[in-house]
Structures are given as C-alpha cells and as structure tokens.
Amino acid sequence: MQIKQSLEYPIWNIPHYFIKSIIIFIKLIRTGIVNLLIEKKYFNRHLELFFKLLNLFLTNKDEKEIGKKLVNCLINLGPGYVKFGQALSTRPDMLGKETCNELKLLQDNLIPIPSHIVKKIIQEENENFLKENLISFNEVPIASASVAQVHTGVLKNGKKVAIKILKPNIQQKLFKDFTFFYWITKCFEFCIPNIKRLKLSKNVEILSEVSLNELDLTLEASAADELSENFKNHPNYKVPKIYWEFTTKNMLILEFVDGIRIDDLDLLNDSKHNIKKITETGIEIFFLQVFRDGFFHGDMHPGNILIDQEGALVPIDFGIMGRLSNKDRQFLALLLTYLLNKNYRKVVEIHNDANMLGKDISHDHLAQAIRAISTPILNKPIGEVSLAKLLGQILSLSKKFNIEVQPQFTLLQKTMLMAEGTTRQINPNINMWELSGPLIDKWINETYDPFKVLEDWLHQNKLILLKFPEILNKFNEILSKK
C-alpha cells in the first residue's frame, strides 16, 4: 500500500504527463533506436510503416551514432530511464553489439558527483569514519551508476573496502520517473480495457517496491547477507563481506573485490580463466537462486558480476533482489520443462491448474498458438535460444486467450533476459537452458517426492510438534479436573 500511495499522482499533473510523454517519444525516435527495431522485425506491418514515416522527419541517418545518442537521451531523462538502458545493454540480439557496447556505459560509468559532496555525505552518516577508521580514501570513484557511486578506502586493519553512497535526492528523482511510468500504464489500462490482464501498473508497483532496496543501503546489506548465507558452501560464488558496524541507510561498506568484469573476454583470456567453466557456474548459480532458494539477484547485468583471481563469480550489487514462493517456483519449473520438451498441451494444463485461463478458452487452440510462437524460437541454433523471449511471446497471447498474467514474474523475466544476454555475450555456443534442464528436472522430482514433502512439513512445524506433549499434558489435566 505504501508503494501505491507513493506512485499516486495529483489529477492536475495529467496535462503535464501527457505533454511529457509526447516529448519523450520524440526524443527516443530521434536517437534512431526505432531503425534497429524495424530491422529486427519487432513491429507489425502497420506500425512499421508508421515508424518509417516518422523516421523520414525525425531520425538522424547516422546509425553509428545511435548508441551514443540513446545513452545521452536516457541519462538526461532520469535514473529510471537509465535502468531501462542497463537492461537493454544485455540485448545485442535486439539492438546490435555496437549499440549495446555504448549502453554499457550506463552500468557503472556515469558522470560522478564531486568528491567534496561525497565526503560531506560520508561525514553526515558517520562523522568519524574518514578520520578515525580509514588509513586512506580514494576521491576518484571506481564506479558511478544511476543510484549510487563507489569509492575505495583502506581500513586501519589494512583491509581494502568499497564505500558505496547514495547520490543526493535520488529517491525523489527515481520515484518521479516511476510515477510517470505508473501514469502511462494506467492510461493504457483505461484506454485499452483488454490490456488490464497484463497488469502493467501492478508491474510498475512491484519494480518500484524492489527498487526501494536500492534507496536503503541497510536493506541491500541485508540482501547480501542472506545471499552469502545461501551460498556459504559454494566454492565458486563469493559474496563480499559486509561491514555492518559502518553501514547506514545512505552508506554501505563492504569488502573490496579485485576482479574482472564477466564480459571482459580479452582480460579473462589473458588471465588464463576458463570461460566455459565460468559460464557453467553462472548458469548453476542462476538455477540455485531461482529454484532452490526463491531469492535471486534481480540486476544481473555484466557490470554487477566480477571474476576473482580463483575464477569464482562475485556479485557486487544487491540493490534489486527478487523472491518467488514455492508455488511460483513449481509453476515456473514445470513451464520451462514442458517448453524445452515441446509439450505444449502440458503448458496449457499448468496455466489452467493455476487458474490463469478464462473458462471458455479452448485448450487445443491455445496449445496450437503456443506451438506456433515456440517453434521458431526453439528451433534456432543452440546459442540463440531464448526462453525469456519465449515467455514474453506467451504473455503476448494473454489478450486473445484471456491469460491472467502474474506480476511476480516480471522481475524474473527481466533477470532471465539479462542472464541470457550475458551468457550469449561471453559464450554464444552454450545454451543456458539446455544445461539447466537436468537441474530443473531433478528439482521437480525432489519437490514432488512425498518423503521430501513430509520432511519439509515437519521442518516448518517443528515448534508445534515439540510442544505437542505439553499440549497433551494440559489437555489431560483439564479432563482430570472434570
């Protein structure tokens, strides 16, 4: 409820939002991004003709400048748009490698705030930290993203740390963008009633709520702590140590990791790292986070994943995390398994079992429609198969077949797109879903094992079971008194 209230807008803002939406639309058109989408056949015939006419008047013809112009446009629009660009930077299949290379600047290479402001923020959070706890402090940031920037320092015990601080007024700026996105989705839902089942405004609410973790660095520290606990016994996935004694809402102090970005293939090869092993480890980690734990890193662009000297994957940003209930995980596991096995009838059945289909929907027609959109994707070369894209295509059937879209999968689908994009960048010959398939099958079998179900129930209710003898004794005492 708190998030929804934060996204509510006064009615007198509507004319401003309407004009703003037109201006933003024109700005994006002028970057030339639509040319790339037209080339990839993302629009139907009528929309393609419409955008081609707009391009005649608005778009610069120099395609080499598209990436730079798009980066500058998104930065000028605000931090919410920068996040959108970060997601796009992992999709060379959509925008091309050259444009995505430019968009990578949005991940951690934005213009930083001046060092005197940084020091002021640190002193406001902990007035003695710079003087009493640090031997040295590097005023030049090692990373600057949309919400925060990171400096390095050395503690008095000799440990090198990363010092992450929130940028000034970032909550106000970010929610200004989210409020505008919320208004746009509400307009779509009002003007096109059939689009309501996509729950676009609900998706904005969820993404906004998830982004709150980025605006409170103690929540980010807590997420890192939980992720570290989940993978404490995994040798190839290391979460940096959090220094809780120095961490506040606006400042996070964590162990500094000297590593190489996961997409810096030249440096990884020069350092004799095994790219195939790194890719396989990354896929395994993704599976364990989503299916085993139901707690996953929701911002898996390459700038947030480092490879340390031993070849272990090190996540370095925990601002956006996602959760899935056990019921959601079971649905997702079955969905992916049936899609990979091309069992489209079963795909329809699990949607129906989850009460996501209208009563009058023909299961045969829906299965045929899913086959039609799945076959071209699943029959592609091994390195080009995208289950995340396929899930998006299935969602596009929601209007025709009255499928109730589940908003809790919004962040997961974005994460899947990033994971696929990153995997494709570093090792295009590996299909992450082919490697995940056996792991998913094993998880499904264990989940539906009756002994496993009983074990989980006993674990969840152990406190009640431990008190059961005491309850029986009290019950006997009551009966004896009568």
In the structure encoding, which two tokens stand for residue 29, read together? 């058109």
278, 268 in Cβ contact below 8 A? yes
Give the chain's end-to-end CA distance (angstroms, integer).
50
* Long-range CB contacts for residues 179-186, cutoff 8 Å, separation at least 24: 179/6, 179/7, 179/8, 179/9, 180/17, 180/20, 180/21, 180/80, 181/80, 182/7, 182/9, 182/208, 183/9, 183/13, 183/14, 183/17, 184/17, 184/21
CA 102 to CA 33: how far, in whole Å? Answer: 13
108 is catalytic: no
CA–CA distance, 22 with 10 (Å, rounded to integer): 19
Q: How far apart are CA 26 and CA 19, in angstroms?
A: 11
* Rounded-to-integer distance, Cα 307 and Cα 259, Å: 5
Residue appearing with tokens 């930290």: 129
Pick from 102, 87, 105: nearest CA to 422: 87
Rg (CA), the chain: 25
Give me the amino acid identity at 73: C
The phi-psi region of residue 253 (left if phi > 0; otherwise alpha if psi is between -120 and 50; otherwise beta) is beta
Give how far the C-alpha of residue 89 lies from the chain's centroid of Cα atoms, to the nearest Å.
13
Q: Which of 287, 335, 321 is nearest to 442 (CA)?
A: 287
* Phi, psi for residue 295 in degrees, rounded to 5: -140, 110
Query: How far apart are the C-alpha atoms of 314 and 311, rounded to whole Å?
Result: 9
Task: Give the integer Cα–Cα distance in Å for 81 and 66.
Answer: 16
CA separation (Å) from 175 to 47, 103, 240, 478? 31, 22, 29, 58
DSSP state of 146: S
> Of how many residues is the chain composed?
482
Residue among 263, 299, 360, 364 flagged as catalytic: 299
Q: Which residues are catalytic?
A: 299
